[in-house]
Chain A
Amino acid sequence: MDTTFERSYLKTPKGLASWLFTLDHKRIGLLYLFGIMGAFLIGGVFALLVRLELFGPDKTLMDADTYNQFFTLHGAIMIFMFIIPSIPATLGNFLLPQMIGARDVAFPRLNLLSWYVYIFGSVFAVYSIAAGGVDTGWTFYTPYSTESTGAVISMTLGIFILGFSSIFTGLNFIVTIHKMRLPGLTWYKLPLFVWGLYATAIIQVLATPVLGITLLLLIMERTFGIGIFDPAMGGDPVLYQHFFWFYSHPAVYIMILPGMGIISELIAVFSHRRIFGYKAIAYSSLAIAFVSFLVWGHHMFTSGQSELAATIFSFLTFLVGIPSGIKVFNWLATLYKGKITLDTPMLYALSFLFLFTIGGLTGVFLGALAVDVHLHDTYFVVAHFHYVMMGGTVMAFLGGLHYWWSKMWGRHYSERWAKITCALIFIGFNVTFFSQFFLGAKGMPRRYYNYLDQFQPLHAFSSVGSLILGAGFVVMAVYLIFSIFKGRRAGTNPWGAMTLEWTNPTPPPPENFTEPPRLEYGPYDYDRVAVERTDT
């Protein structure tokens, strides 16, 4: 009955080998999806274990060394194996060529290679759990990381390899966006998700090599003691922090910029409204990408860097807040006079707006020099970056995943369960992390295995929230997997969207477009053309 299914990228060609050696960007996107979901599961289990241990002071479940390993692994796995590849490598890979009317990315073989590199690097990283664990925190600060007896080398080597995967994806996307666009699809006609991916890719190729050399030098410091970062050999641990944050601060924007791109799509589609201030949103992505390289020192206000450097970094940090603010206001203005439908992806987009605003505003606290001195390395910082990373990126990712789910699989998930889950995640998230703002301001330092009794009620509250959050993700896994096999058949354009990927069959054929796509309207021309929802 379903010839579209039989001819779709999911079924042609068939067989495991055709997946493992595929050059199709859509299949590679799905391979990445399985990879990062595995990483999310492992990282999430570590997060829950950490939260359970913190339910009460002293020993609750595990001893201090195990706890230190668990929070390190939670951080390292979530950042390097989940959130950095999350949106670009899965949704980006799946959608970018479809959105610009291309048949594939510029370098399909490099694309597949990047997935294998990702798996290879992940194997190293996961191996370090077996090989004695790592207890340095995901930042690997020297000299602790040069002295630690854990499997620091295999973990850093794993992350070094994962960096190549990130670079390959970024390189591929930049060239694809420059060279593979449909003739006539000019820069200002691109969907904003593509702009987000473009800005992300620029950061990926510019920043990741510095992470590479940082980790190489760290490995050399451990093996030869070359004396650049290790004070015992005459090196400077603060210089390590400069190196590390030169990558890791822009990396925060590798995580959030594609999320912002997704939100731009979702807000426009579910308000059925031309996006407000297209150029401002597009350019603010590039502005964020650029300024993100100038602000890394705000992680180091109490680290012993000079007062002059701290001041410069603080000033530049505030500059990066402005384009983020512009985006939020433009999204809000897009809702004005729209036709707003509250489908699940839109619920995630609205959650994003709510949570990201909190994350952004608390970031201003941390950028202000004097206040940061009090809040640095406390739970306030933990709460802040979870609001940005999880409340921001993960919410956007989930919104995007639900929005394009039918495009990927040709089937719908259960809308009712999806809404219940969205509520669970929203509530669980806020219970878990909002309490941590109070903990941090009260002076609770981060990475504490044990804590003073006065912090116990808030810690317990936060731990309960994490269980709600975890339950939400379990339910989501169930209904999403169920939908792949039994979900209601989806039509070509169930949301009434205007971007190109909704003009081809669902799920798409291997070559994406059965006939050359036509540019009859732009991605947000809701004021010119009435697009109908087509769903079966």
Chain B
Amino acid sequence: MNKPAHHESRPHVLPLRTYLLVAFALLVLTVVTVAVSFVPLGGANALVAVGIASLKAALVALFFMHLLYDKKINLIIFLVALSFLTVFIALTMFDTLTRGGFDIITRDPIDPDAVIYRDTISAPPDTTTD
């Protein structure tokens, strides 16, 4: 693999216009995401924010960081990083979001403030069990 590509003795220079357009798009997206955050959309706010952030990150990676034009191996490295981060988040959440499935605990929580406790109690802390 990686046959030496002799014809590329000079770097691939992107036109100035591309950089300016990308920078402009990034600024516009920033304004959009801030504006949307003031609109109450419930859970969708988080999705929109992360979606726009990903779009911006993709623009930076593909154009500013030249991944679109560079050797494919570098793009692969970048995608590997993202996929293993996804694995980390996903497998951890498989635990943290599904705790207490079998054990219904009817006692009051030990520390009502402890956020980790929320999913393992059946009743909210303020109701008394009889």
- The reply to whether B111 and A187 contact each other, CB–CB distance below 8 Å, is no
Identify A309's interface contact among B1, B84, B87, B95, CB under 8 A: B95
Q: Shortest CB–CB separation between residue B3 and chain A, in angstroms?
A: 9
B99 within 8 A of partner (CB): yes
Smallest Cβ-Cβ distance to A206: which chain B residue = B84
Q: Shortest CB–CB separation between residue A443 and chain B, in angstroms?
A: 25
Identify B116's interface contact among A178, A235, A308, CB under 8 A: A235
Which residues B81-121 have CB closer than 8 A to chain A?
81, 84, 87-88, 91-92, 94-102, 111, 113-116
Which residues A476-495 have CB closer than 8 A to chain B?
none
Q: How many Å lie between the Cα of A305 and that of B120 in the bound state?
A: 11
- Chain A contacts for B73, CB-based, 8 A: 178
* Contact mask for chain A residues 320-349; partner B; CB cutoff 8 A; 1 contact, 0 none: 000000000000000000000000000000
Q: How many Å lie between the Cα of A239 and that of B2 in the bound state?
A: 42
A242 within 8 A of partner (CB): yes
- The reply to whether B94 and A312 contact each other, CB–CB distance below 8 Å, is yes
B80 within 8 A of partner (CB): yes
Q: Given A178-B73, A242-B95, verify A294-B87 contact (CB < 8 Å).
A: yes
- The reply to whether A231 and B116 contact each other, CB–CB distance below 8 Å, is yes
- The reply to whether B116 and A236 contact each other, CB–CB distance below 8 Å, is yes
- Chain A contacts for B97, CB-based, 8 A: 306
- The reply to whether B114 and A234 contact each other, CB–CB distance below 8 Å, is yes
Q: Given A206-B80, A210-B88, A231-B116, verify A309-B111 contact (CB < 8 Å).
A: no
Q: How many Å lie between the Cα of A316 and that of B99 in the bound state?
A: 20
Smallest Cβ-Cβ distance to A187: which chain B residue = B1
Q: How many Å lie between the Cα of A239 and that of B99 in the bound state?
A: 12
A526 within 8 A of partner (CB): no
Which of A178, A186, A238, A309 has the most chain B CB atoms inside 10 A of its CB? A309
- Chain A contacts for B116, CB-based, 8 A: 231, 234-236, 238-239
- Chain A contacts for B87, CB-based, 8 A: 293-294
Q: Given A234-B115, A242-B92, verify A307-B2 contact (CB < 8 Å).
A: no
Chain B: interface size category: 20 to 34
Identify B111's interface contact among A206, A234, A305, A307, CB under 8 A: A234
Chain A: interface size category: 20 to 34
- Chain A contacts for B95, CB-based, 8 A: 238, 242, 297, 305-306, 308-309
* Contact mask for chain A residues 225-247; partner B; CB cutoff 8 A; 1 contact, 0 none: 00000010011101100100010
- Chain A contacts for B92, CB-based, 8 A: 239, 242, 246
* Contact mask for chain B residues 24-64; partner A; CB cutoff 8 A; 1 contact, 0 none: 00000000000000000000000000000000000000000
- The reply to whether B114 and A308 contact each other, CB–CB distance below 8 Å, is no
Identify B91's interface contact among A179, A187, A309, CB under 8 A: A309
- Chain B contacts for A306, CB-based, 8 A: 94-101
14 extra interface residue pairs, beta carbon distance < 8 Å, beyond A179-B2, A305-B99: A178-B2, A186-B1, A231-B114, A231-B116, A234-B113, A242-B92, A242-B95, A246-B92, A306-B98, A306-B100, A308-B95, A308-B98, A309-B95, A312-B94
Smallest Cβ-Cβ distance to A174: which chain B residue = B77
- Chain B contacts for A313, CB-based, 8 A: 91
Q: How many Å lie between the Cα of A361 and that of B9 in the bound state?
A: 54
- Chain A contacts for B80, CB-based, 8 A: 206
Identify B96's interface contact among A186, A187, A236, A296, CB under 8 A: A236
- Chain B contacts for A293, CB-based, 8 A: 84, 87
Could you give 26 example pairs across A and B, Cβ below 8 Å?
Answer: A178-B73, A206-B80, A231-B111, A231-B114, A234-B111, A234-B113, A236-B116, A238-B116, A239-B92, A246-B88, A293-B87, A294-B87, A296-B91, A305-B95, A305-B99, A306-B94, A306-B95, A306-B96, A306-B97, A306-B100, A306-B101, A307-B101, A308-B94, A308-B98, A309-B91, A313-B91
Q: How many Å lie between the Cα of A206 and that of B77 in the bound state?
A: 10
- Chain B contacts for A236, CB-based, 8 A: 96, 116
Q: Shortest CB–CB separation between residue B88 and chain A, in angstroms?
A: 6
